[in-house]
Amino acid sequence: MNKIQLSFSGAKPLDQDICNWAQILDNDQQAPGVQLDTIDVDIANLQENFLNCGIPRYTIQDLELLLFQAQEIDKRLQKWEESLPSSWRPIIVSEPVCIAPSITAAGLYQSHCTVHCSISISSMWNRYRASRIRVLTILQTCNPTEHTYQEQIQQLADDTCATVPFHLGNRTETGVMGDKRVLYPMVRGDKLMEEHYTIASAKGGINLLGPLTLLMGRTDLRQGQREWIGGQVRRIFKLYRLGN
């Protein structure tokens, strides 16, 4: 795990030398993953400032600046999403021909799920959702009467849950790497890419742990959602033999 990921996960400010990267990296010419890393740098520092906002030295002006920074970061995250190519956007599927009954039984949160062009792209979307949830949580705390923040957080949580079938398929037991008997959701008329069987079995569930664990820490999701997420986390631990 690199310094940016460690800082972001622990809400710790980055060393000044890393913060200086932002002016170089935060531009539209960089790859989307690099752009997201750069935004995450600022979120890590924003979270640290937010955690310190109860210290006596903080003034009303400090809090107003914190709120402004959170709003600006959220705008950057939305701009990042809008800039993604159409081929990277999730495709919603809901028909039985796209989602086998065994996938539904193993873990389908609502009546639909999403299919992506790859596990890596799906994981990047979940990183984006986790980043927005963190920023929106700060905005929600600063503006408790603004209900749109909670609505956005709930939608981001739903969208994260919708990626689970694409990552895990119908697997409920440990199996052979790249097993092509595993069923995954797919777009009607399309064929699943060969490498998906290997990549999904190797790291599909591992990539879900961070976003799902973040959601499990919330108490404001709709009724039963945390329990469903907890069941999927236990499923991942079983599939990947974690925690033994």
Mean pLDDT of 23-46: 81
Q: What is the predicted pLDDT for the residue at 50?
A: 86
* Interatomic CA distance for residues 24 and 39, integer angstroms: 12
**Total tally of structural domains belonging to the chain:** 2
**How long a stretch of residues is the chain?**
244
**Looking at 57, 83, 109, which one is the last position of a domain?**
83
Q: What confidence category does residue 29 fall into, taking pLDDT thresholds of 50, 70 and 90?
A: low
Q: What is the predicted pLDDT for the residue at 12?
A: 53
Across the chain, what does the average pLDDT equal?
88
**Looking at 60, 83, 106, which one is the last position of a domain?**
83
Domain check: are 140 and 212 in the same one? yes
Q: What is the predicted pLDDT for the residue at 28?
A: 63
Domain check: are 209 and 136 in the same one? yes
Domain check: are 163 and 202 in the same one? yes
Tokens of 202: 């190797």
Domain check: are 205 and 150 in the same one? yes
pLDDT digits (tens, 9 = 90+) for 189-211: 898 999 999 999 999 999 999 99
Domain check: are 142 and 239 in the same one? yes
* Interatomic CA distance for residues 40 and 35, integer angstroms: 9
Listed in sequence order, the residues at least 6 apart from 110 whose beta carbon sits closer than 8 Å to its beta carbon are: 158, 161, 162
* Interatomic CA distance for residues 168 and 235, integer angstroms: 9
The C-alpha angle with vertex 27 and arms to 43 and 151, in degrees rounded to 5, equals: 45
pLDDT digits (tens, 9 = 90+) for 63-118: 888 899 999 999 999 999 999 999 999 999 999 999 999 999 999 999 999 999 99
Residue-range definition of the domain harbouring residue 102: 89-244
The DSSP element (H or E) to which 92 belongs, if any, is: strand 91-93
Q: What is the predicted pLDDT for the residue at 19?
A: 46
Q: What confidence category does residue 61 fall into, taking pLDDT thresholds of 50, 70 and 90?
A: confident
- The answer to whether the Cα torsion of 36, 38, 43, 44 is positive or negative is positive
Tokens of 205: 């569930």
**Looking at 53, 83, 113, which one is the last position of a domain?**
83
Q: Token pair 């290997």 is at which residue?
A: 198
Domain check: are 164 and 239 in the same one? yes
Domain check: are 125 and 191 in the same one? yes
Lowest mean pLDDT segment, chosen from 15-19, 107-111, 149-153, 219-223: 15-19
Domain check: are 22 and 101 in the same one? no
Domain check: are 205 and 117 in the same one? yes
Domain check: are 225 and 109 in the same one? yes
pLDDT at 159 over 60: yes
104-108 LR contacts (CB < 8 Å, sep 24+): 105/170, 106/165, 106/168, 106/169, 106/170, 106/171, 106/172, 106/235, 107/164, 107/165, 107/168, 107/228, 107/231, 107/232, 107/235, 108/164, 108/165
Domain check: are 130 and 224 in the same one? yes
Domain check: are 233 and 130 in the same one? yes
